[in-house]
Structure 1
Amino acid sequence: MFGFNEEQIAWFGLTVGVGAFMLYMVFIVAQLAWESKAGKFGTFVIFLGLAFGMLGFVAKLILEWFMTR
């Protein structure tokens, strides 16, 4: 499709697509903290609880980058 093979499309979807989805999730968590008037500590707890899973995806990308160099 458009000169790309399956591996290139999968890489693009995984890195760019999931990365964009993660940024959207950060926006949703920030909106939740804003609407609930959580304060600074409450916002920290909300981000810690709801956005902590995204850290694993970022760590995976960093590890892949270091291992392929």
Structure 2
Amino acid sequence: MDGDPIIFGLTIAEFEDYSLKILLTALILYMLFIIGNLAKESKAGRYGTVWLFIALGLGFVGFISKSFIQKFLGIE
């Protein structure tokens, strides 16, 4: 463990873990902004906007639930 490379005071594994969580969260927020903008530009209405967020945002649920399942099962 003495020879582990350090980036910003973190080991490579810690840096990768933090950057994955932070950058993917930012990407998800940006994609939610894009979905909202798409709904606004297409004049989808309230019902159409809800379905856009459900259909296009369903992949986010899998990513977020994966971390909860890992914590619940103690896999992390």
Which TM bucket (shorter chain)? Answer: 0.7 to 0.9
Partner of residue 66, structure 2: 60
| Matching of residues 1-69 of structure 1 within 5 Å | 1-68=7-74
Give the structure with the higher percent strand.
2
Give the structure with the higher percent helix.
1
Superposition TM-score, scaled by structure 2 size = 0.81
1:13-69 CA-to-partner distances (Å, cap 9, x unmatched) read 21111011101110110011011110111011111221111110110111122233x
* RMSD over aligned Cα atoms: 1.5
Superposition TM-score, scaled by structure 1 size = 0.88
Give structure 1 regions of 4+ aligned residues with deviation exceeding 4 angstroms.
Answer: none
Structure 2: tracts of 5 or more residues without a match: 1-6
Quote the sequence identity (%). Answer: 37
- State the alpha-carbon separation in 2 of the partners of residues 38 and 21 from structure 1: 23
